[in-house]
Amino acid sequence: MSKTSLKIGPLPDKTPQKLVVLVDPPLAADLDDYARIHSEIHGAEVPAAALVPLMLETFLASDSGFRRARRS
C-alpha cells in the first residue's frame, strides 16, 4: 500500500443514537407547525422528528456559554 495522504482522513462514527424525548403538547404542536412551514418553504415533506436533531445541533453550536464550560 502506498503512503499517499489525503486531506480527508478517516470518517467519524455517524451511527445514529436513539434518544427518546417527551415534550408537552404545546411544544409538539409548535414542532409540527415548524415542520409544516419548513416543508412549504423547501417543497419537500419533512417530519418534525427529522428536524429536531438539526435544531439541537444548531442550538448547541450557538451556545457560547456551553462551549466555554465544555473547554474548561
Q: Return the pLDDT at 24.
A: 98
Does some domain include residue 66? no
The model's pTM: 0.75
Whether 14 is covered by a domain: the verdict is no
Tell whether 56 is covered by a domain. no
Determine, yes or no, domain membership for 43: yes
**Length of the chain counted residue by residue:** 72
The parent domain of residue 35 ranges over: 23-51
Structural domain includes residue 31: yes
> DSSP secondary-structure letter at 3?
-
30 lies in a domain? yes
35 falls within a domain: yes
Reported as a single tens digit per residue, the pLDDT across 10-64 is 888 889 999 999 999 999 999 999 999 999 999 999 999 999 999 999 999 999 9
